Structure 1
Amino acid sequence: MKLSVCYNHILLASEQTGLSLSEVLKKVKNMGIQSVACSYEELKPYTREMKVLLKAVELEISCIYKYFDFGYEETGEAGYGLIDLAEHMGAKFVLVIPGLLKEEVGIKREQAIKHMVEALRLMCDYAKDKGITVTLEDYDNVCAPYTTAKEILWFMEQVPDLKHTFDTGNYRYRGEDEIEAFELLKDYIVYVHVKDRSTAMKGEEVAKIAADGTALFSTPVGSGVIKIKEILDKLEFMGYDGTLNIEHFDAPNQLEYIEQSIRWLLKNISTNSEKNI
């Protein structure tokens, strides 16, 4: 398994420490990171600069993600630019956040979800010839119709070429057990967001309020309540050799969080997996 980290965290670490982007990237590379995951907005205006920056430290882009409004305003063709950018930057995966719903029930809600499915089908068809995989994650927003394991499974069944980015920490947002979600969706998992959650504030973390009102806080991987070690063991058992992307948005000290997360992951991935890092 290969370690990646959100480029957002690199940007924030640079701001927090005063180090240049190049210096932060070199540090995380030396810690064991092999790639970064970028948003479309972070990457698109700076493709040439990013290619130079990442090449200098021998890092790749593992995934590019983008938010859309497929339910109401946009069609699948709006996602082609994301796929083209991934092809240009050498990323093999894109993560699509199809949009949020404005209605809790009713025909308009059903139509919006249908539009999302149609858009994802178009994107998957377009991406297939380019060797790029379109993925959907369990998104932590109650207005998204893809937050629970059964909702994700429904989308997988409606869009045969769509795959799952399994976010270890987001099922807890809807009160679901991440292990049960893993077992239901393991045949679709091609990319993993390694996210832990804490139920106690340790410093200046920003709370994510779960659907049941529970406050969830960012925390270094391995220091929270998510069963990440069990998930890693299950991934290894099924032969997963893909990316583990470290994610802890809004961390008060991103570089410290990244270092702790990497150290824990390297300690808890088996010897055979470590050889791939």
Structure 2
Amino acid sequence: MRKLSVFYEHILQACEQSGKTIPEVLAFCREQGISAVEMNYSLFASEREVIAPMLSDAGLVISCMHETFDFSHDTDLGRAQQMLDTAASQQVSRVLFVAGALETAEAAELAACSSTYETTSTFMAKNKSIQNMVHALSSLAEYAALRGVSITLEDFDGFLQPFARTYPLLWFMEHVPGLRYTLDIGNFAFSDEDVSYAAWLLKDYIVHVHCKDRAESPLVHGRFCRGLGQTPAGTGYLPMAKLLTDLEACDYDGYLAIEHFDAPDQLSFIEQSAAFLRQWVSE
């Protein structure tokens, strides 16, 4: 069953922008056909006694928990294990790790060699920070599986992260047993890569989708990137409809997450995104 979710941070920003309370915005989201929220783990852990009842009262659940870690250098997995325990206790079957970063020179080297899988693989196999990530993710994937949770990486929109591009992501999927993929439709534009090709290549690993669109900018003329601005799903230049239809044809049955951080009017953006995405919902 494909369902809609929205980032909880968008709800908080909508409250700041509109003056509405969190329960009022949650109710608004439910009226748009949204049934879940994407939740930052640290925020939930610090305010669990407040957030959990509000979500329950609104008829919403948590679709995925996300958090940033430094597995490239930090070998202590305790906090990540606590996150997985929390996810399991809330019946959350997906978590997203922003798993670490490279030094600037390393990231530049990876960017220069990531146009083929062969050169990407050679770099990934010899880089110590990436090997640290593989070790941590492998251990955590096993820990998560015992609790009914899958860990995922996304195509992150950052230069230092070694999972921002297509072939590095494929390499991680092939070298970490049990690792899965969150397709962020809008983030391949950051690396000026073809999201359609990436989605096809990684389709067997996709278990979660961020429906982030991008607005065109007259100043940006990349091969695939024509701008990185926020815009409601379905109103930008990315092939959102085709990608979602292709996922539907592949029997994707996970969440379609509404994402547009720092939108100038979150309530309006959420309403427009939900209206567009509802045609792929199958509850």
TM-score by length of 1: 0.90
Give the alignment's Cα RMSD to 1 decimal: 2.3
State the percentage of identical aligned residues: 38
- Structure 1 residues 25 and 43: CA distance shift in structure 2, 3 A: same
Count the aligned residue pairs: 265
In the alignment, residue 201 of structure 2 is paired with which amino acid?
Answer: L
- 2:89 maps to 88
**Residue 215 of structure 1: how far off its partner (Å):** 4.5
- 2:256 alignment partner, one of 240, 244, 247: 244
- 1:63 maps to 64
- 1:185 maps to 202
**Take 1:120 and 1:250, find their aligned partners in 2: how far apart are those partners?**
30
- 2:120 maps to none
Pairwise mapping of residues 213-252 of structure 1 onto structure 2 (< 5 A)? 215-252=227-264
Secondary structure, in 3 states, of the residue corresponding to 1:99? Answer: coil
**Residue 147 of structure 1: how far off its partner (Å):** 0.8
- 2:127 alignment partner, one of 94, 100, 110: 110
In the alignment, residue 96 of structure 2 is paired with which amino acid?
Answer: L
**Take 1:5 and 1:74, find their aligned partners in 2: how far apart are those partners?**
32
**Residue 82 of structure 1: how far off its partner (Å):** 1.2
Single out whichever of 159-168 and 102-111 deviates more from structure 2: 102-111
**Residue 230 of structure 1: how far off its partner (Å):** 0.5
- 2:167 maps to 150
- 1:16 maps to 17
Which aligned segments of 4 or more residues in structure 1 are displaced greater than 6 angstroms? 106-109, 210-214
**Residue 78 of structure 1: how far off its partner (Å):** 3.6
Single out whichever of 67-76 and 99-108 deviates more from structure 2: 99-108
**Take 2:8 and 2:63, find their aligned partners in 1: how far apart are those partners?**
10
**Take 1:249 and 1:159, find their aligned partners in 2: how far apart are those partners?**
30
**Take 1:233 and 1:113, find their aligned partners in 2: how far apart are those partners?**
34
**Take 2:105 and 2:22, find their aligned partners in 1: how far apart are those partners?**
42
**Residue 211 of structure 1: how far off its partner (Å):** 11
- 1:43 maps to 44
- Contact 1:194/1:246 (CA < 8 Å) preserved in 2? yes
Unaligned runs of 5+ in 2: 110-122
- Contact 2:216/2:227 (CA < 8 Å) preserved in 1? yes
Unaligned runs of 5+ in 1: 202-206
**Take 2:100 and 2:134, find their aligned partners in 1: how far apart are those partners?**
11
**Take 2:75 and 2:26, find their aligned partners in 1: how far apart are those partners?**
35
- 2:155 maps to 138
TM-score by length of 2: 0.88
**Take 2:105 and 2:182, find their aligned partners in 1: how far apart are those partners?**
25
**Take 2:275 and 2:58, find their aligned partners in 1: how far apart are those partners?**
20
Secondary structure, in 3 states, of the residue corresponding to 2:127? Answer: helix
**Residue 70 of structure 1: how far off its partner (Å):** 0.8
- Contact 1:171/1:178 (CA < 8 Å) preserved in 2? yes
**Residue 103 of structure 1: how far off its partner (Å):** 4.2
